Amino acid sequence: MKEFHFSAKDVETISKVLGVEPVKRVDSYRFVLENTQEKRKLSLEIYPDIPIGSQTGNLISIYTMNSHIQLHFCNGYVPSESLGEVIFIGESGGHVSGLIVEKGAGCSLYANLDSRVLSGDFTQMAPEVMMSGIALSVAEHLIPNAD
């Protein structure tokens, strides 16, 4: 997968989709999303180009009242204003993980999918597999061809 670096324009795009302004920190951007109607609160932190082990990469962290989720080596993202969500993608060795952050302070994680699932025949898949494939299929253009 092509090397990806978060730019100020990327952060601006994410901000627009999620409807909140980020707080710029020394090494990260922090977005706080609140949905008072559903009593949800979520913090999204984007750490561009930080040391992760012996490599450098992008780290996406999610904090909620009940969980802490991280996506290491984020290779790109897909913003969707119509869905009110941003999908952060990580790919390695033909497997893909996607972290979906919703404007309504929700999130979903789909981890370690065979990248071929994204372009497979969803009618032939078990519902559990189909759901993850459909959710991440909008990011298929970011994933190198799996041969």
Place of tokens 């204003």: 81
Q: Is residue 46 part of a domain?
A: yes
Q: pLDDT at residue 144 above 70?
A: no
What is the tally of structural domains in the chain? 1
Q: pLDDT at residue 133 above 60?
A: yes
Phi, psi of 10 (to 5 degrees): -60, -45
Q: Is residue 33 within 8 Å of 103, Cβ to Cβ?
A: yes
Place of tokens 């993980």: 97
Nearest to 98 by CA among 85, 84, 112: 112
Residues spanned by the domain of 12: 8-142
Tell me the HSE value of 80 on the side-chain side, using a 13 A CA sphere.
Answer: 16
Q: Is residue 23 part of a domain?
A: yes
Q: Is the pTM of this model over 0.95?
A: no
Query: Which tens digit of pLDDT belongs to each residue from 37-94?
Result: 999 999 999 999 999 999 999 999 999 999 999 999 999 999 999 999 999 999 988 8
Q: Is residue 101 part of a domain?
A: yes
Q: Is residue 147 part of a domain?
A: no
Q: Is residue 119 part of a domain?
A: yes
Q: Is residue 89 within 8 Å of 142, Cβ to Cβ?
A: yes
Q: Is residue 99 part of a domain?
A: yes
Q: Is residue 1 part of a domain?
A: no
Q: Is residue 121 part of a domain?
A: yes
The separation between CA 106 and the C-alpha centre of its own chain, rounded to angstroms, equals 12
Q: What's the angle, vertex CA 53, arms to CA 47 and CA 55, rounded to 5?
A: 75
CA distance 1 to 13: 22
Confidence of residue 145 (pLDDT cuts 50, 70, 90): low
Selected residue with higher pLDDT from 92 and 122:
92
In this predicted structure, what is the pLDDT of residue 147?
Answer: 43
32-36, 111-115, 140-144: which is most confident: 32-36
